[in-house]
Structure 1
């Protein structure tokens, strides 16, 4: 069968209609992580680099503050490693998952790299594996799925990719190559998820591309908006006219120029997926295996926020040019930084009138 956008949207419709629904209130606290790609602890295990950061954030912040946990796909890297090896190496991580599940709640979806979990009868852990689910906030819905369902080619090529990774890439020590390395593929998947979400007038929260999105905006757009915000504050608020603000604006400009210089394929840089208005219907938690730490989404007190976690090895220059405030996780060399935050009521109001 030829895979077209129409087929993808129909599949997403079926996924949405058949997904279980859970209630979300302003009292609830959720943190959303995706794309851990946990392996066997060896040189080709992408999770290994940020494993300490991830465990500390879970145990010393989210478990402490009674957050519920959403693991939105590609938690286990089963295209490379057996589940037994993954579980034995990262048993302490699963113990934290168990603590959160027993203390609050844990919801876990499957991705294309751990798709095999849905076919297995016996697991070393006791979690339900969902393909998708929804959180109902008043009369609105947040639709959680990993994101590979918006890809035309994943159904055709997923098994072949897994075979290549396990029997060729692993022995050669080659790191994981996925959609996260192709800006064009990222854009196409995001664009389909965006248009579907706008049509259904829902918020979709995905992973898969490893690229954080907040209100349907990727890094380039966020940087542009941040520069505009800092310039406006500098012009209207004398207190904000500091060297720190000037350095932040300069740093953002440098990042933008570097980004456009490095990325040759500019197709995805079209403004908000070629729609008239920016409809804040698509969010992405990013990934846990980033070079500069990990990102996640938090839902708390009727608000949604994009958060960056990192360790002290990140230079002070990077922290200065972001223009964001960070907080240290007590007793560690790890830091939490809020990148964006918005109320869900405002997000859904814009979707209602603009979509």
Structure 2
């Protein structure tokens, strides 16, 4: 545990030191989604069941001037080696993401399941443009895009920082050993995944691993006085009173719908989009605030005294 903790804290510090800086103020508007795991439309494609919810939510955020921040694992590139198949299966999603990109309102991070986006040649080959076989022409998708491992959102007025990473940093099987883990997923676990089995290296349904990651990240937050927004565990989290500012935006593949973190008007909140029925039996896609909104400044550890639950968290 101690070695794993040191590794994770080292990786988080490296990510922070090399992060892109995104300046924001109280007029800035962001929506953070992660873990879409867009696949090729096959039975193992978990995104397919929530695609319409995702599209509806992103249309809302585009119309209302938000910047879309995809916090890793947007594309499922462990189970699928061919990005073209993913793009064709979810053409509407990429058309909408392109609208954000063309408006300079798309920030893309990579996670463990799309870690190959750290390689510029892979990104240029697959994400800059694609070939339209029907019209026999190349069409631009995200020309010149740079996916990041980490982004630090820095408030223009207060200097408060928010480190945003996918959350696999320091999770050994999904970080240092990702190539081996990808092989097991692509050639073994993907087939079991389609009938309900989960890779034991994944933290998604392993409560002990989830809590360990949360404890380690909270320890880094306490030492560095910087709040974190991440994904990876698929478990949404918004800190309660006096808890360290560890935020997790959940995922887009849960049966209940999709969760995300919104920043608007200098406040932060955890939201969920899901299908609900009304009194007439009609199905509608609704947005619900799960936690918040709270002023971002409330989570600035440089200026606030927190009562830490160190014994319970085993920091």
- TM-score higher than 0.5: yes
Q: Does 1:158 align with 2:175?
A: no
For 2:99 and 2:88, how far apart are their aligned partners in 1? Answer: 18
- What's the counterpart of residue 63 of structure 2? 64
Task: Name stretches of at least 5 consecutive residues in structure 1 with no aligned partner.
Answer: 218-224, 226-276, 317-330
CA RMSD of aligned residues (A): 2.2
Stretch deviating more after TM superposition (125-134 or 165-174): 165-174
Change (3 A) 1:339 1:51: same
Change (3 A) 1:159 1:115: same
Change (3 A) 1:332 1:108: farther
User: What whole-Å deviation, never above 9, does each CA across 1:106-137 have from its counterpart, x for those lacking one?
Assistant: 11100000011222141234231100010101
Question: Out of 248, 258, 272, which is 1:284 matched to?
Answer: 248
Change (3 A) 1:18 1:352: farther
Stretch deviating more after TM superposition (65-74 or 122-131): 122-131
For 2:21 and 2:177, how far apart are their aligned partners in 1? Answer: 30
Question: Out of 337, 340, 348, which is 2:288 matched to?
Answer: 337
Question: Out of 123, 126, 136, which is 1:123 matched to?
Answer: 126
- Answer whether contact 1:37 1:76 (CA < 8 A) is retained: yes
User: What whole-Å deviation, never above 9, does each CA across 1:214-261 have from its counterpart, x for those lacking one?
Assistant: 12x5xxxxxxx9xxxxxxxxxxxxxxxxxxxxxxxxxxxxxxxxxxxx
Stretch deviating more after TM superposition (154-163 or 304-313): 154-163
SS where residue 4 of structure 1 aligns? helix
For 2:100 and 2:176, how far apart are their aligned partners in 1? Answer: 36
Change (3 A) 1:309 1:351: farther
For 1:110 and 1:130, how far apart are their aligned partners in 2? Answer: 6
- What's the counterpart of residue 80 of structure 1? 79
For 1:80 and 1:153, how far apart are their aligned partners in 2? Answer: 16
User: What whole-Å deviation, never above 9, does each CA across 1:153-195 have from its counterpart, x for those lacking one?
Assistant: 3234422322122222334534554211100000111111111
- Answer whether contact 1:108 1:129 (CA < 8 A) is retained: yes
SS where residue 306 of structure 1 aligns? strand
- What's the counterpart of residue 16 of structure 1? 16
Change (3 A) 1:88 1:335: same
- Answer whether contact 2:276 2:283 (CA < 8 A) is retained: no
Stretch deviating more after TM superposition (154-163 or 71-80): 154-163
For 1:73 and 1:156, how far apart are their aligned partners in 2? Answer: 16
Listed as ranges, the matches of 1:218-237 within 5 Å are none
Larger % of strand: which? 2
SS where residue 160 of structure 1 aligns? helix
Larger % of helix: which? 1
Q: Does 1:353 align with 2:299?
A: no
Stretch deviating more after TM superposition (190-199 or 344-353): 344-353
- What's the counterpart of residue 240 of structure 1? none
User: What whole-Å deviation, never above 9, does each CA across 1:140-165 have from its counterpart, x for those lacking one?
Assistant: 10100000003233234422322122
SS where residue 212 of structure 1 aligns? coil
Following superposition, the deviation at residue 349 of structure 1 comes to 5.7
- Answer whether contact 2:39 2:76 (CA < 8 A) is retained: yes
Change (3 A) 1:28 1:155: closer
Following superposition, the deviation at residue 332 of structure 1 comes to 7.2
- What's the counterpart of residue 132 of structure 2? none
SS where residue 64 of structure 2 aligns? coil
Question: Out of 179, 202, 205, which is 2:229 matched to?
Answer: 205
Q: Does 1:132 align with 2:150?
A: yes
For 2:258 and 2:191, how far apart are their aligned partners in 1? Answer: 27
